Structure 1
Amino acid sequence: MSAQGSEPVEKIASGPSSNAPNLTRALDFLETLIDARVRDVQDENPGTLPEPGFFDDGSSFGDFIRDRRPSFSDWVVVLLALAPHTRPQMLEAAFQKALKTQGEFPQFGTRRDSNSRSLIATGETAAFLLAGEDLEARFEVQALFTSDHWLAREGIVELESPEPGAPLLSGRILMGRDWVELLTVGHSSTPPFSSAFPARRIETQRSWDDLVLPAQTREQLDELLRWAKHEKSLEGDWGFGARLRPGYRALFHGSSGTGKTFAATLLGRSTGREVYRVDLSAIVSKYVGETEKNLSSLFQAAHRRGWILFFDEADALFGKRTAVKDSHDRYANQEVSYLLQRVEDFDGICILASNLRANIDEAFLRRFNAIIRFPEPGPAERSAIWDRSLPYCGATAERAALIETINGYELTGGGIVNVAQFAAIEAAARGDKALALQDLQLGIRREIEKEGRVFKVKS
């Protein structure tokens, strides 16, 4: 029996939108393929393989096959990765059924999971089913697991690294959790925060009217919004295509509290994209290779789901690289280089936030599409922020006079919000209906002293 060619899986009749019909047909096909290959090795008539068709039924599984049109070999690899999650005992049952005698069958190449005790396919399993003893065909199977193959690029299937000295294809065929969920229950859940997924979603229910910025800063943010709106049109209608660099990279720089994180959440809300703040301290691992692995899973998830990635306090990893004095310094610089490359290759919106532009490596600054400064607010901006932050209690004239009195203190927008919240809590605790100047001044004093500055009462 010879492996099928590279023709894509054929579409068949439509069915319901659940993934179950497609999965049932696909796994039945895989069982038949296993049976035929084992019988062929035993010099038995393998019979005729059914066509590996699919239902174009609007299910996530059907959409996956329709949009990507996998080759026969791609299809088999995907099914081998899915089988343990859908029919855990299928691989063992299928090849035991086809064997003439009971016993081990090392050509099958599976490995037993220590917890579930079910068999997990390896690269050798794929080679057995698709190549047999054909050496050239085995090399083609090996190419299915390279980093530039679309299954790896999209994070769908990964071949586990083999033990030192073990055959290259001896690693298990693994499917990412979100892809397993998408191709089974039809939707992917967000992984919990961990060192393997060092990001948390941030969002806001507020609007652009609540963000007070200079006109130049706001115009640059509007440029980013226009890119997000017209990106696909530029690629297609305008014919830029491959001439465009993928994605959009922006540096937000300015003091803490000037609106960098707030602006990122508003960009997400305006573009309908989820925003994930990346914890750089959780990315860097003391174990060689773990940093790259953690970053890879994060960027793959962001690519698939269209997330905006927001690297807060990016100086920690994107700053000027250190002189190489030992192996630790060399590896730290390798981590930075790898991260910079992933940021540059990311086809979505990637935002780096820094307190000081000067902290970012000059070599990387040239790679940004936009460098947006978030300055500390002047008197006019502070007045507008106070007006948006203070609750509307008390007479309008008294409120305006209160704002005029406290507006002379140099605070960022974040600081002003903190003061307004503090003063409101103090008033509520006393049962008052209006804010008191002394509470506002106490809140202001605390914000100023947090920054190491000296507080002076302004009359």
Structure 2
Amino acid sequence: MREQEILLSNTIGAEINWAKGIIGQRLESLNPQNEYNISEEFLLNNYPPDMIEGTTYSVLVEDLIRERDPDDPEWLHVAERLILILTLAPHVDPSLFEPFSILLSKGVGVDSLGGVKNNRFYGFIPTGETALFLLAGNNISLRRQIILKVFHCAHSFTKKGVFSLQETNPNLSRFCGILTLSDEYYSLLIEGKAFIPSLSPSFPAQHIDTEETWDDLVVGGQTRFALEEINIWLKENKQMIVDEQVSRKIKKGYRALFYGPSGTGKTMAASLIGKEANVPVFRIDLSVVVSKYIGETEKNLASIFDKAENRNWILFFDEADALFGKRTQTTTANDRYANQEVSYLLQRVENFNGLVILSSNLKSNMDSAFTRRFQTMIKFPVPNETLRKELFDRVFYGRYAVENKELLEKVVKKYELTGAEINNIFRYCAMMTLHHGNEKVTEQIFSEGVIKELRKKGKAL
């Protein structure tokens, strides 16, 4: 790990030194005695250094460049690398911009260098104009090409959300906005780890994971087989996207419905899918998403899908009936707005290029417009007697084995208990066994645990 950190620091350090060289040359052009005309040749003569392979920085750059149009000019690589390091430098080496601060304090380059001052920070913060000054200067043709190539919405910098230009006064050029590194790429480049946003009003979704394995998920063979189809899609999706024959015929993304009673393993299955693919899973908090105020639900949904777009995340809508339920006849204004929410959600789910999993207790609760668009609908039934026996055997063993095996067998045969309910019984039995210092789960403790759980269902032992 330490070696990787050193390699990353060396890679970024080399990029900083390269940028310093360009900055030095460009600032000389502000001297009235120098005649300096920036051109494409200038960019090609300042080609960036080779990067150390295998670092998060080099992998990122290679990934971004891979999407470039083969007809793009060679100097575009210089522009991309410089803009990226200008965006990163305020976080790792603000001294890169000291020459700008010195010149501006003397009144030199005020109309050319861009940048902003902050009342809490006395240094120079680069803007889009700063990048355009370094790369194009007064060359209007070159400046326009850079704007159309690098700052365009179709460029991978924008599509993948690497950085953004902070919004400015409408009367100013958009390139007066600060070059702002996204939280995701700050985590990747500075911290060397994937960005996991926290649950907040602006992102009403929570990252979920599990320590369990597929062996811990006790479901029927048909359910297991259907889940494997999703695992295969996650493995082959990248190849399908670039396969022209496939990409022309099908939409990007994958939509799955998990339905069945609570406690049958739907959330666990979603977590395991993400774990196997090494992809973060975010459970949408519908209590935060759904709002009584007109337009707020759509706004909350947009914030989730916008952040998840192109990020290889799995979105898991638990108990989705509240949001994905059937549309009603529009007899009132409330009905009309509720139907608008469902329609908006349908459109966003259909156009999302990742995996969306919806969870519901009943398949019949879902709007038919959604069910037509699911690639798979997987039933999670209450475990049958064979599966219940396996679930009990997986937790009640060793010190926590039940003394009265006949009682355990009776419970297995007689009561339709879900995996979550069996875990609740085990939790109670383990707690009371430790409390009393018993070597095994006694008949009394086991009976109390079962009765306690059955009472929730309105039944008795």
- Code of the aligned partner of 2:417: L
- Answering whether residue 107 of structure 2 is matched by residue 102 of structure 1, we say yes
1:223 aligns to what? Answer: 229
SS in 2 for 1:106: coil
Determine the C-alpha separation between the residues in 1 that align with 2:244 and 2:104.
59
Q: Structure 1, unaligned stretches of length 5 or more? A: 1-14
Residues 314 and 354 of structure 2 are in contact (CA less than 8 Å); yes or no, is this contact kept in structure 1? yes
1:358 aligns to what? Answer: 364
- Answering whether residue 35 of structure 2 is matched by residue 45 of structure 1, we say yes
Counterparts of residues 43-442 of structure 1 (less than 5 Å)? 43=32, 44-46=34-36, 50-58=45-53, 59-69=55-65, 71-91=77-97, 93-96=98-101, 101-102=106-107, 105-133=110-138, 137-143=142-148, 144-188=150-194, 190-232=196-238, 234=240, 240-283=246-289, 291=300, 294-296=303-305, 298-300=307-309, 303-304=310-311, 306-320=312-326, 340-392=346-398, 398-405=404-411, 407-442=413-448
Residues 454 and 460 of structure 2 are in contact (CA less than 8 Å); yes or no, is this contact kept in structure 1? no
- Code of the aligned partner of 1:68: L
Q: Deviation digits for residues 113-162 of structure 1, max 9, x if unmatched?
A: 34333332223333434444555555544444443321111110112233
Q: CA deviation at 1:264?
A: 1.9
- Code of the aligned partner of 1:118: G
- Code of the aligned partner of 2:429: A
Residues 402 and 440 of structure 2 are in contact (CA less than 8 Å); yes or no, is this contact kept in structure 1? no
SS in 1 for 2:107: coil
Q: Deviation digits for residues 101-123 of structure 1, max 9, x if unmatched?
A: 43670332222234333332223
Residues 399 and 440 of structure 2 are in contact (CA less than 8 Å); yes or no, is this contact kept in structure 1? yes
The partner residue of 2:7 within 13, 18, 22 is 18
Residues 48 and 78 of structure 2 are in contact (CA less than 8 Å); yes or no, is this contact kept in structure 1? no
SS in 2 for 1:77: helix
Determine the C-alpha separation between the residues in 1 that align with 2:14 and 2:126.
19
1:30 aligns to what? Answer: 19
Instruction: Decide which moves more: 57-66 or 265-274.
Output: 265-274
User: What's the TM-score once normalised by structure 1's chain length?
Assistant: 0.79
Q: CA deviation at 1:347?
A: 4.1
Instruction: Decide which moves more: 205-214 or 135-144.
Output: 135-144
Distance 1:296 1:121, change over 3 A: farther
Instruction: Decide which moves more: 28-37 or 362-371.
Output: 28-37
Residues 142 and 169 of structure 1 are in contact (CA less than 8 Å); yes or no, is this contact kept in structure 2? no
Instruction: Decide which moves more: 223-232 or 411-420.
Output: 223-232
Distance 1:444 1:116, change over 3 A: farther
Residues 83 and 131 of structure 2 are in contact (CA less than 8 Å); yes or no, is this contact kept in structure 1? yes
Distance 1:149 1:381, change over 3 A: same
Q: CA deviation at 1:293?
A: 6.5
Instruction: Decide which moves more: 280-289 or 409-418.
Output: 280-289
Distance 1:296 1:381, change over 3 A: closer
Q: Structure 2, unaligned stretches of length 5 or more? A: 66-75
Residues 402 and 441 of structure 2 are in contact (CA less than 8 Å); yes or no, is this contact kept in structure 1? no
- Code of the aligned partner of 2:52: D
Distance 1:250 1:89, change over 3 A: same
Determine the C-alpha separation between the residues in 1 that align with 2:141 and 2:327.
45
Distance 1:142 1:280, change over 3 A: farther
- Give me the identity figure in percent: 33
2:460 aligns to what? Answer: 456
User: What's the TM-score once normalised by structure 2's chain length?
Assistant: 0.78
Distance 1:316 1:396, change over 3 A: closer
Q: CA deviation at 1:42?
A: 5.3
Distance 1:138 1:308, change over 3 A: same
2:68 aligns to what? Answer: none
Residues 261 and 361 of structure 2 are in contact (CA less than 8 Å); yes or no, is this contact kept in structure 1? yes
Residues 64 and 156 of structure 2 are in contact (CA less than 8 Å); yes or no, is this contact kept in structure 1? no
Q: CA deviation at 1:257?
A: 0.3
Q: Deviation digits for residues 154-209 of structure 1, max 9, x if unmatched?
A: 11011223345543333222111231343345444534443344444433343434
Distance 1:112 1:424, change over 3 A: same
Q: CA deviation at 1:299?
A: 0.9
Residues 20 and 184 of structure 1 are in contact (CA less than 8 Å); yes or no, is this contact kept in structure 2? no
Distance 1:394 1:131, change over 3 A: closer
1:10 aligns to what? Answer: none
Distance 1:182 1:270, change over 3 A: closer
